[in-house]
Chain A
């Protein structure tokens, strides 16, 4: 095929990679490949939580833009997860489980992690999740932020 030529004239170039993906892998694409616009840390968080907790509901929000860090940073995250793995676990243990799964990210670039961990039944009863508190500028005064951001440079 000549460079730049498209096998199907009507298909936009950005969708071409999908043609190379075997159909059986497509349903799992979201869990193992970054979503459009998703950056590496977010993708890694999503994929690990997906794999380890097999959630019925998962949201991964990069909230770095709400904090005193440069644009494009991946330092502050909020995750909302509904998983049967949380059944019978008190809140602290649920959070510890998530922390353990994401320990590499937390030892590295992730500076703050807000966790909302429910069982699927709890999620069905109440899908309400509180908003993260407004930043009070802590990262501006934080001598360690430069290191954390440096790893994303």
Chain B
């Protein structure tokens, strides 16, 4: 990403941070490519993907901000998190909704 989760330096990177926050995912590694030009180019070569941010789940490249947003909107992200043993906070939010 560009910047840090506490202080993103890019709107697209921030969108990723906010989506993860919505799902209650706080325990993840974030790397600021603006501080590390080697990483910036290296990660693009590694994933064969030209832009930042880049999202990896369990070491596997998932996509950028657009893809994460669409996964969030269509429910795929909840499923992918489940596969990693992470329960999305949105499921609990839904449960609370149902109880009311």
Residues of A within 8 A of B (CB): 91-92, 95-96, 99, 103, 106-107, 111-116, 130, 132-138, 141-144
Residues of B within 8 A of A (CB): 2-3, 8-15, 34, 37, 40, 48-51, 61-67, 69-71
Q: A111 — which chain B residues lie within 8 A by C-beta? A: 51
B2 touches A138 (CB 8 A): yes
B66 touches A134 (CB 8 A): no
- Selected contact of A136 from candidates B14, B48, B49, CB within 8 Å: B14
B49 touches A133 (CB 8 A): no
A113-B50, A114-B65 known; A134 and B11 CB under 8 Å? yes
Q: B62 — which chain A residues lie within 8 A by C-beta? A: 92
Q: B64 — which chain A residues lie within 8 A by C-beta? A: 95
Q: B71 — which chain A residues lie within 8 A by C-beta? A: 91
Report the Cα distance A138→B49, complex, angstroms.
19
Report the Cα distance A112→B11, complex, angstroms.
11
Closest residue of B by beta carbon distance from A100 = B48
B51 touches A141 (CB 8 A): no
Closest residue of B by beta carbon distance from A137 = B9
Q: Which 10 A-B pairs have the closest CB atoms?
A: A133-B11, A138-B10, A106-B50, A138-B9, A133-B15, A138-B2, A134-B11, A135-B11, A91-B67, A92-B63
Report the Cα distance A111→B34, complex, angstroms.
13
Q: B70 — which chain A residues lie within 8 A by C-beta? A: 91
Closest residue of A by beta carbon distance from B76 = A91
Closest residue of B by beta carbon distance from A144 = B37
A136 touches B8 (CB 8 A): yes
